[in-house]
Amino acid sequence: MDVPVSGFSKKSKQEKIEWLANAYFGDDPEAINTLRKYWNSDTRLQELHDDFTENVISNYYLPFSVAPNFLINDTLYTIPMVIEESSVVAAASNAAKFWLERGGFNAEVISTVKTGQIHIDYFGNGEVLNAFFSEVKNELIDSIADIQKNMKARGGGLIDIELKDATSQLNGYYELHCTFETLDAMGANFINSCLEKIAATFETAALKYDGFNTTLPKIVLSILSNYVPECVVRAWVGCPLESLSYGNTQGKEFAENFVRAIDIAKAEVRRAVTHNKGIMNGIDAVVLATGNDFRAVEAGVHAYAAKSGRYTSLTEAVIENNSFTFSIEVPLALGTVGGLTSLHPLVKFALQLLRKPSAKELMKIVAVAGLAQNFAAIRSLVTTGIQQGHMKMHLMNILNQLQATSEEKEKAIEYFTNNTVSHSAAVEFIEKLRA
């Protein structure tokens, strides 16, 4: 029977690895060698990575790629992307080149407000709670003066606090809804620190308030929200229909098929999920490369896709006055200072590659990456089909699984230029070569 480990986090890195090897790999030296292969040879750099999180035993590498030729608001960018899916970077680069010749991408930040909530249980008279909040609101704001001093000096900080009655959703449930401007910081730690201080001040003041008698409000939890529908960016492209011809498909036909594909994603949730996943291929890749929290972005974006009460497409496509317009509106809480931005060498490289953007500029770039990815996917779907390009990009993964030599890879790539790629077809081709 397996025995739980005690004090694992207090063990040294070597001790953790030895325990894992013994408990799960029968002391197989290859398991330990695999971990060591991915250690950085620069000791200081490895120590930096070890400090990013808990119980580090190695590094898990993902490819760091770039997609050039993104013209955004008349500025040319090469966008860094961290992703393992073979076709994503190629598709983004292809879309960037396509729109470079048609005026490029446009993007604008609509709003940058972020929020956090202090969730309260109160089973007394709601009017009494409202009266107390009105009396104590300024004290709550003053209580975070030290925390937000530097943020306010830069033009950010707490915007407002509202008391919201949510008892219609949950018995006895109220919340203090706090809005913030965090400028170039993503702001999670700042917001959470403010919320916890406000909550403590609220509870202390409540103990002294005569109106509550024996029924006091109780703080349940205080936390920022990753749903940021007030921190939104819009990106779009457009051109005359005649400029949209692709392969054997004329511009008008292509545009009509494209719009129909978007309409299907707006109408059918099963299609919408896959449609939006493709958008997130582009968004997540840039979010990861720039050291931002892709999990927070994912959660907020998918919630935004369901803001109407029904999950639907994040992108829109229209034909008006013989012109085609394709756009996205997406919530993105991003930062270019704080977190890993000044610690991770590749994050620093990525931000420098992007011309050291502000958080607003990064929002635009990320939204464009999502839009470009979606354009490339829909274009393939309504013309050649998604698998033709995807499987050709996936061919190298198959060849590596088969441990193909450089010569075998070269011959396989040449063969599959005009033949359909599948795993079985690749296996058969390599076996024939070796025979």
> Catalytic site residue 277?
yes
Residue 1 falls inside a structural domain: no
**Helix count (H) and strand count (E) of the chain?**
15, 10
* CA 194 – CA 203 distance, rounded (Å): 14
Examine the domain organization and report whether 241 and 338 are in the same domain: yes
> Catalytic site residue 390?
yes
Q: In the prediction, which pLDDT does 400 show?
A: 80
Considering 16, 275, 390, 394, which one is annotated as catalytic? 390
> Catalytic site residue 293?
yes
pLDDT of residue 419 exceeding 80, the answer is no
Domain span holding position 23: 8-50
Can you tell me which residue has the tokens 């058969």?
428
Q: In the prediction, which pLDDT does 88 show?
A: 94
Q: In the prediction, which pLDDT does 395 show?
A: 76
Residue 59 falls inside a structural domain: no
**Banded model confidence at residue 388, pLDDT cuts 50, 70, 90:** low
- Domain count along the chain: 4
- Percent of the chain exceeding pLDDT 70 equals 97
pLDDT of residue 54 exceeding 80, the answer is yes
CA 369 to chain centroid, in Å, comes to 11
Considering 13, 18, 49, 85, which one is annotated as catalytic? 85
**230 half-sphere exposure, CB direction, 13 A CA radius:** 11
Q: In the prediction, which pLDDT does 1 show?
A: 37
- Picking from 193, 224, 255, the residue at the C-terminal end of a domain is 224
Residue 222 neighbours by CB under 8 Å, 6+ apart: 116, 117, 118, 119, 192, 195, 196, 198, 199
Q: What is the mean pLDDT of residues 20-33?
A: 89
Provide the b/e sequence for 53-87 (b: ≥16 CB within 10 Å): eeeebbeeeeeebebebbbbeeeebebbbbbeebb
CA 89 to chain centroid, in Å, comes to 16
- Picking from 224, 247, 275, the residue at the C-terminal end of a domain is 224
Task: Give CA angle at 332 (327, 336), nearest 5°.
Answer: 120
- Percent of the chain exceeding pLDDT 90 equals 80
pLDDT of residue 387 exceeding 60, the answer is no
Examine the domain organization and report whether 233 and 89 are in the same domain: yes
* CA 92 – CA 67 distance, rounded (Å): 6
Examine the domain organization and report whether 248 and 377 are in the same domain: yes
pLDDT of residue 41 exceeding 60, the answer is yes
Q: Poorest-confidence range of 36-45, 126-135, 287-296, 357-366?
A: 36-45
For the stretch 331-357, pLDDT in tens is 999 999 988 888 899 999 999 999 999
E strand or H helix at 372, and its extent? helix 359-382
For the stretch 197-232, pLDDT in tens is 999 999 999 999 999 988 999 999 999 999 999 999
For the stretch 64-121, pLDDT in tens is 999 999 999 999 999 999 999 878 999 999 999 999 999 999 999 999 999 999 999 9
Considering 293, 361, 364, 394, which one is annotated as catalytic? 293
